[in-house]
């Protein structure tokens, strides 16, 4: 099993991503994979501060743009107040979304 298989997985209803957030970053964007205590995560850097959910909305918008899906299909399902989050990309073909994500991170 490759490390990328642990950072995201197909679930009923879409694709689940394990994300490490970096709010108030100088250079926003997907920064590749990083190791955490419970396995690899996708590092997502955003300019917004972690106040009033602004960083969470920015992370959802960043992932939606990277995966070429509408922002309304991306939501934080756990870890809203933490840097380590679980994000669900609802709908779509999980295989296609996985391929797009792998291309963006390579």
pLDDT tens per residue across span 30-48:
999 999 988 999 999 999 9
Q: Is the pLDDT of residue 56 over 80?
A: yes
In a domain, 16, yes or no: yes
Residue 90 belongs to a domain: yes
- Short-list 57, 71, 67, CA closest to 102: 67
Query: Mean pLDDT over residues 39-65, rounded?
Result: 96
Indicate whether 33 belongs to any domain: yes
At 3 the pLDDT is: 44
Instruction: Tell me what pLDDT residue 106 has.
Output: 82
CATH of the domain at 61: 3.30.1200.10
pLDDT, mean of residues 64-83: 96
For 19-57, b/e burial (b = at least 16 CB within 10 A) is bbbbbebeebebeebeeeeeebbbbbbbebebeeeebbb
Overall number of domains in the chain: 1
């Amino acid at each position: 099993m490759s490390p990328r298989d642990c950072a995201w997985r197909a679930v009923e209803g879409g694709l689940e991503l394990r994300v490490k957030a970096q709010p108030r970053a100088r250079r926003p964007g997907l920064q590749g994979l990083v190791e955490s205590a419970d396995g690899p995560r996708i590092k997502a850097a955003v300019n917004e501060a972690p106040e009033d959910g602004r960083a969470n909305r920015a992370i959802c918008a960043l992932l939606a743009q990277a995966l070429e899906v509408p922002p309304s299909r991306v939501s934080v399902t756990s870890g809203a107040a933490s840097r380590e989050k679980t994000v669900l990309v609802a709908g779509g073909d999980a295989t296609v979304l996985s391929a797009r994500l792998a291309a963006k991170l390579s």
